[in-house]
Amino acid sequence: MRDAVKNIGGPFAVPILGCIHLLAEINPQNIKEKGEEIFDKYGRLLKIWAFNRLLICSSDVEFNEQVFASNVHISKVQIYGVLQNWLGLGLLLSDGKKWHSRRKIITPTFHFKILEQFLEVFDSQSTVLLDCLAEKADGKSVVDVYQYISLYTLDIIAETAMGTKVHAQTNKTMDYTTAVKEMTDLVSWRVLRLHLNSDLLFTILHPFKKMRQNQLIKILHNFTKNVIEERRAFLEKKLKHDSDNLMDINDVGSKKRCGLLDVLLQSTVEGQPLSDEDIREEVDTFMFEGHDTTASALSFLLHLLSRDERVQNKLLAEVREAYGYKEITEPFTLMNLNELKYLDCVIKEGLRLFPSVPIIGRSIKEDFKYKHSKYGEGVIPKGTELIVSLIATLRNPERFDNPHDFIPERHENSDGRNNLGASAFSAGARNCIGQKFALYVMKITMVKLIHKYEFLPLGEPIRPIVTIVIRSENGMQLGLRERVA
C-alpha cells in the first residue's frame, strides 16, 4: 500500500503509530480549520496513516470527479455504521445489488411531476412555520432558528414520504418527533468519538446511553411500522373498490401525490414485493436524511442572511417583484420558482460555505485507478478509506476568490469551475437523490420567510461542528422583525 501511494504527499507518519499525533489534535469543532491547514501544507490530495489504516483525503476537484464518476467505489466507510441500528441497510448505507435495485425503485418519486404536487405541502407547512415564529418576531428576541426549521422539515418529509401528518411544529411533545431529535443528537455525539463507532465499545462504556438508544429506536420503528400497515391497508381497500384508481408507479405523476411509501408498497424486486422491514429501512432513511440535511442548509442560510443586509435586501427585491408586496396568494409552481435567479445564487452560496454533508467517506474494496494532471497515473489500493472533504473543496482559494465570504453573485456568471467534483450534493451514481426536493423546499421557505420577516444580526456567531451533517454547536441565532410594506 505504501508503494502504491508514494506519489501522494502527506504528514510524517511515525513507524507503527502513523499520524495519530496529528489526528489527536483534530475534533469536530476544529476539523474545518485544521483540515484547511493540512490541505494548504501538503496539497489537495494527501495520505494519512493511522496505525495500519490508510486514509486518502481529497479536496481536489479533478480527483473527486473520478471518484464520483465510478460505479464501483460506492461503499460507505465504517463511520456510517452508527446509523445502521436505526436505518438498517437502506439507500444511505447499502451498496451493490441491493443499492442499485432500491435506487431504481425510489428515483421515480422525485420526478418533476411529483415535485410539482409536493409544492402544496411545502407551502402549507411553511405557513405553519411563519405562525410559529411570529411570537419571537419582535426585533429584540434572539431566536435559535434551527429548532423551528428542524421541526418544519420533519413535518414536510413525514407528509411527503409517508403520507401522514405528524404535526411536529405544533405538537412538540409527540413521542415520534422528540425521538427523532434525540436520536439524531445521540448519533452525532457518537460520530464525534471514533471509538464509539463500535457498537461493542459503546455498549461497554456507555450502557445507559445504549439502553436509551434502544428505546428511541423502538419508538421510531413502531411509528414507521404502524404508518406502513395503515397505508398498506388503505391501498388494498382502494384496489378492491376501484383498481383503476390505484397508482401505477410506471406512469409517474398521473395520479395525485405519489409518495415514497406508496411507491415502495407497490414495488417488487425479482417478482417479490418488498417486505415491511425493507420498506421501513427506506422510510426511516428518508425521514433522517430528508429532514436533518435540509434543516441544516436552511438554518445556515438564514443566519448568513441575517448578517448581510445587502444580500437580504437584494433577495427581498427579487421576491417582491415576483410575488408582490402584500400577502403571497399566487400558487407556487416549479416554473415561477425557477425564475428566481438570485435566490438560486443565494442557496448555492449557502451550500458552498456550509454543505449539509461536509465530508463523504468511501471504502475502496478493489484497486482504484486514476489519472491526474499533477500526480500522473496512480492507484488507490484496496483497503483504503477515501475521505472527500466537500467543505474544503468548496472553499478552495484556487477555485474561489475570497472563499470564506458570502458572495452569491459569484454564481451569476458561472464559468463552470463549480463542477461535479465540487458539488454540495455529491455527484455521479451516489449523488443526493433528493437534491431537487431539498432545493424546492428551500426556495419556498426562503420566499415565504423573507417576504414576511426581516432577519436581524442578533445573538452569537455560529460555531460549526462537522459530523455526518454539519451543525452549529450553539444553534443558529438571529433576530426577526415583521416587515411593513
Contact yes or no for 20/51 (Cβ under 8 A): yes
CA distance 482 to 453: 4
Residues facing 143 on adjacent strands: 478
User: Which residue ranges of the chain lie beneath pLDDT 50?
Assistant: 246-247, 249-255
Which of 484, 456, 457, 461 has the alpha carbon at shortest distance from 472?
461
Say what the pLDDT of residue 253 is. Answer: 39
Classify 21 as helix, strand or coil.
helix
Where along the chain do its domains lie? 19-242+256-482
Say what the pLDDT of residue 409 is. Answer: 95
Say what the pLDDT of residue 197 is. Answer: 80
Say what the pLDDT of residue 122 is. Answer: 95
- Residue 76: all three cell numbers together: 460507505
Q: Please, where are the H alpha helices in 324-405?
A: 334-338, 341-353, 390-393
Residues 362, 368, 372, 375, Cα dihedral to 10°: 90
Query: Is 132 flagged in the annotation as binding?
Result: no
Q: For residue range 246-275, what is the model confidence (pLDDT) as tens digits? A: 445 444 433 455 578 888 888 887 778 888
Say what the pLDDT of residue 356 is. Answer: 93
CA 397 → CA 31, 37, 310, 423, 424, distances in Å? 18, 12, 24, 16, 17
CA distance 474 to 144: 8
Say what the pLDDT of residue 251 is. Answer: 42
CA distance 37 to 31: 10
Cβ neighbourhood burial of 414 (10 Å; 0-12, 13-18, 19+): exposed
* Rg of the chain on CA atoms, in Å: 23
Q: For residue range 105-126, what is the model confidence (pLDDT) as tens digits? A: 888 888 888 888 899 999 999 9
Contact yes or no for 138/454 (Cβ under 8 A): no
Q: For residue range 456-471, what is the model confidence (pLDDT) as tens digits? A: 999 999 999 887 889 8
Residues facing 370 on adjacent strands: 378
Contact yes or no for 23/50 (Cβ under 8 A): yes
Say what the pLDDT of residue 257 is. Answer: 54
CATH number for 19-242+256-482 (one of 1.10.630.10, 3.30.2320.50, 3.40.50.720, 3.20.20.80): it is 1.10.630.10
3-state secondary structure 211-279: HHHHHHHHHHHHHHHHHHHHHHHHHHHHHHHCHHHCCCCCCCCCCCCCCHHHHHHCCEECCEECCHHHH
Q: Which amino acid is at 393?
A: T
Q: Which amino acid is at 35?
A: G
Residues facing 57 on adjacent strands: 46, 387
